[in-house]
Amino acid sequence: MRILFFINTLGGGGAERVVSTLSHYLTREKNHQIIIITLQKSECFYELPPSVSVLSLKSGVLNIGLGKILFLPVFALEFSWILKKIKPDSVISFLVRSNLIHAMTKWFGNKLRIVLSERGPPQTRYSANSFRDRTMRALIRLLYPKADSIIVISKGIKDDLRDLGVLAERVTVIYNPQDIRDIKVKSQEDGGVQIPANIPTLITVGRLVAEKDHKTLLDALKKIKETLNCHLIIMGEGPLEGELKEYAKTLGVLESISWLGWQRNPFAIMAKANLFILTSKYEGFGNVLIEAMVCGLPIISTDCPSGPREILKDGEYGLLVPVGDSEAMAQAVITLLQNKGLYEKMKHSGYERAAQFDVQFIAPQYLDVLDLN
């Protein structure tokens, strides 16, 4: 079967990693042909099978500034032409802009089933009263209900879409697939990063953007160091890097942090740390929590909408703290590092939980929605 994935770019991100993971599994285990169309050209951050074809919309050069909204019909027209030319057996889009474009192809004669994959809670992501956010909420209300099926990656997102007028029976919750075997193999590589051997090492992975709330983590680090010495690794890049480094300097914790940027193999570094922390204000799912558990790390996460509580099963497989509460985050870190019994329990049970998200269990659920099983 010929399956087409449509996504904004193939840059670093959770949806992009899912496209890579599904592509490997579906070509290797199911012998499907995978074609990836991107809204605009970009570097491919994650490895793809050699057999996968990658094309980009020519009109994607218009996807800047207000053009991201104004030219959606233009993108949809070109995408509909591509669908008629390629004639895939099934199509699925990922991320909001690609989903809106995909839904719009019905206006231009696309007769294929419209399957969208929503990766985050739209009402949280577009909650402001700005022109952009109000427009995006309106477009989602208009176009998402026209889809034949929508795959969401957490129950919280399903509830969010229901409030935007999407019928519940058209929405299927499918958790993000993980190639557990690949993560485990990569976690055993060297990584090329020196980590202090005599003190606990905390690690977080994510883009340096406001929704990841690294400032709460830095506040927590200052509080933790009042009780015990530790080192923090921040892996990721983004527009707030300079601001966060300056904030860490004012807190007096800059020298206790390694800023590693984006890493092609983060697992080798994660496996050498002692504890994984997520301080997000919201997540679509939280792939990185599962990746950290595969690497043998106990988890502390904010109880943000909408994935961490589902992944950690209400705190059974990791500690949950309120969003933005640096005091609670600091106390959770101290508790885990000082309570060896709890630490070992979280470490071993976390790996068992992560195995439940393996791609061999998740990919068939995608094929069911795509009517390809």
Q: Are residues 173 and 197 in the same domain?
A: no
13 and 160, same domain (yes or no): yes
pTM (2 d.p.): 0.85
Please provide the average confidence, as pLDDT, over all residues in the chain: 94
Average pLDDT of the segment spanning 203-214:
96
Residue 350 has pLDDT above 70, yes or no: yes
* pLDDT over 90 (residue 193): no
Q: pLDDT at residue 328 above 90?
A: yes
Q: Domain check: are 147 and 17 in the same one?
A: yes
**Could you give the 3-state DSSP secondary structure of residue 164?**
coil
Residues 330-335 have a mean pLDDT of: 97
Q: What does the pLDDT average to over 82-91?
A: 97
Would you place residue 171 in the very low, low, confident or very high pLDDT band (cuts 50, 70, 90)?
Answer: very high
Q: How confident is the model at residue 372 (pLDDT cuts 50, 70, 90)?
A: confident
How many helices and strands in the chain, by DSSP H and E? 16, 13
Closest CA to 357 of 31, 25, 74, 16: 25
Given a cut of 70, whether residue 187 has pLDDT beyond it is: yes
Mean pLDDT of 25-46: 94
Q: Is the pLDDT of residue 354 over 90?
A: yes
**Is 29 found in the same domain as 11?**
yes
Q: What is the CATH number of the domain that holds 234?
A: 3.40.50.2000
Looking at the structure, tell me whether residues 153 and 230 fall in a common domain: no
pLDDT in tens, 232-241: 999 999 999 9
Strands 90-94, 2-7: pairing kind: parallel
- The reply to whether 238 and 302 lie within a common domain is yes
Q: What band does 143 get if pLDDT is binned at 50, 70 and 90?
A: very high
Q: Cβ(251)–Cβ(218) under 8 Å?
A: yes
**Residues 195-208: pLDDT tens digits?**
888 999 999 999 99
Mean pLDDT of 333-337: 96
User: Are 93 and 200 contained in the same domain?
Assistant: no
Does 191 lie in the same domain as 164?
A: no
Same domain, 22 and 141: yes
Beginning with the edge strand found earlier in the chain, give each strand of the sheet holding 171-173 in spatial order. 53-56, 33-38, 2-7, 90-94, 115-118, 149-152, 171-173
* One domain for residues 113 and 55: yes
CA distance 243 to 255: 16
Residues 133 and 36 reside in one and the same domain: yes
* pLDDT value of residue 373: 67
Write down the pLDDT at residue 305.
85
pLDDT tens for each residue of 94-105: 999 999 999 999
163 and 19 inside one domain: yes
pLDDT at 344: 95
Task: State the residue range of the domain holding 282.
Answer: 181-356
d(CA 26, CA 50): 13
Report how far residue 144's alpha carbon sits from residue 155's, in angstroms, rounded to the nearest whole number: 17
Please state the domain count of the chain.
Answer: 2
In 305-344, beta strands by DSSP E: 319-321
Model confidence at 327, pLDDT cuts 50, 70, 90, reads: very high
Gap between the Cα atoms of 141 and 154, Å rounded: 19
